Amino acid sequence: MDGILLINKEANMTSRDVVNKVCHLLNTKKVGHTGTLDPMATGVLVLGINKGLKIVNEIISLDKEYEAEITLGIDTDTLDITGNVLSTKEVNVTNEDIDRVLNSFIGDYDMEVPIYSAIKINGKKLYEYARNNEEVEVPIHKVKVYELERTSDIKDNKFSIRCKVSKGTYIRSLVRDISKKLGTVGVMSKLNRTKQGKFDIKDCYTLKDIELGNYKLLNIKDVLDLPIIDIPDTIYKKVINGNKIENEFHYDKFIFEKDNKIIAIYELDHDSGLLKPLHMFI
């Protein structure tokens, strides 16, 4: 049982909780996710199963799409509705104000990472500094916002957005910065990941589906948009031994298969001009 499993994560579970549950249901220890969702968040959580773990990094780098709700007028330590309230502020915002501000965020964006996150600084996770009330310089990440639009009118200081963003974007941070630019404070009060790369929420399974056996793993070859080459007999032994080979295939990155089974992913080594193994599946 090797491949990619698409989960529609429910709220009030950590991504690790989902992984542990799937490990139990599929009777394997080799399960990993490809991008953490906060416990309050729902939606697309892509899991690698057994050999599918080898391509986790290929999936982590994909763009993501979200639906989120923003509640203006309050600020919390976690930047979401579950945190401790630090301050409140008056809200005087129109739909037109929101649209103008949202449009200003499209493009490259220097985002300050939330202090309550698992990014490590000097070997310690940021949330550990926060819980211990220790000072730490919070990193700035350059990310990209491809699409950002309001999907509801503002009512009772709340409105909803849809966004498409690059890897590493924290929607909590985006919400904080949107709120600040609106002249107030705000938190993320709902979050639903609707897409990661080409993986859509409509194709995801619930944990109940997995429990009932109502699911299908995606084939590793089908997940990766890479050329597929049948290994010539002349280099078969070199490939299965993970050796570098001459680049006679005119691709920078591709899948080697034999008898319709994936054997390896090879990529161009720009220093030597040779092809080298990126992932082996045997």
Please check whether residue 130 is in contact with residue 105, taking contact to mean a CB–CB distance below 8 angstroms: no
Intrachain domains 3-59+201-221 and 226-280 with the same fold: no
| pLDDT given at position 57 | 87
**Span 13-66, pLDDT tens digits:** 999 999 999 999 999 999 999 888 999 999 999 999 999 999 998 898 899 999
Q: How confident is the model at residue 222 (pLDDT cuts 50, 70, 90)?
A: confident
Bridge partner residues of 54 (DSSP): none
Fold of 64-196: Pseudouridine synthase (3.30.2350)
- CATH code of the domain made up of 226-280: 2.30.130.10
What residue type is 167 in one-letter code?
Answer: K
pLDDT in tens, 109-121: 999 988 888 788 8
Q: DSSP 3-state assignment of 275?
A: strand
**Among 40, 43, 105, CA closest to 78:** 40
Q: Residue 267 corresponds to which amino acid?
A: E
Q: Tell me, what DSSP letter sits at residue 136?
A: -
Told to judge if 156 belongs to the known catalytic residues of this protein, a careful annotator would answer no
Give, in order, the Cα–Cα distances in Å from 74 to each of 16, 68, 133, 184: 29, 16, 21, 8
Q: Taking residues 77-81, what's their average pLDDT?
A: 94
Contact by Cβ (8 Å): 40, 14: no
Q: Taking residues 239-255, what's their average pLDDT?
A: 93
Residue 182: exposure state from Cβ atoms within 10 A (0-12, 13-18, ≥19) = buried
What is the residue extent of each domain of the chain?
Answer: 3-59+201-221, 64-196, 226-280
What is the CB-side half-sphere exposure of residue 129 using CA atoms within 13 A? 18
pLDDT beyond 90 at 211: yes
Query: Which pLDDT belongs to residue 133?
Result: 83
Neighbours of 161 (CB within 10 A): 22
* CATH of 3-59+201-221 among 3.30.2350.10, 3.30.540.10, 3.40.640.10, 3.40.718.10: 3.30.2350.10
Q: Is the pTM of this model over 0.85?
A: yes
What pLDDT is recorded for position 115?
83
Q: How confident is the model at residue 225 (pLDDT cuts 50, 70, 90)?
A: confident
Please enumerate in sequence order all residues whose Cβ is within 8 A of that of 52, keeping only pairs 6 or more positions apart, or say none.
2, 3, 4, 5, 217, 220
Q: Please give, one letter per residue, the 3-state secondary structure of 198-244.
A: CEEHHHCECHHHHHCCCCCCECHHHHCCCCEEECCHHHHHHHHCCCC
**83-142: pLDDT as tens digits:** 999 999 999 999 999 999 999 999 999 999 888 887 888 888 888 887 888 888 888 999
Annotated catalytic residue, options 38, 156, 209, 252: 38
Tell me the average pLDDT of the chain.
Answer: 94
Per-residue pLDDT of 19-29, as tens digits, reads 999 999 999 99
Residue with tokens 């001459």: 246
User: Is residue 103 left, alpha or beta, with left meaning phi > 0 and alpha meaning psi from -120 to 50?
Assistant: alpha
- Number of other residues whose CB lies within 10 A of the CB of residue 136: 14
- For residue 171, name the pLDDT band (cuts at 50, 70, 90): very high
Identify the pLDDT of residue 111.
94
Q: For position 1, what pLDDT does the model report?
A: 86
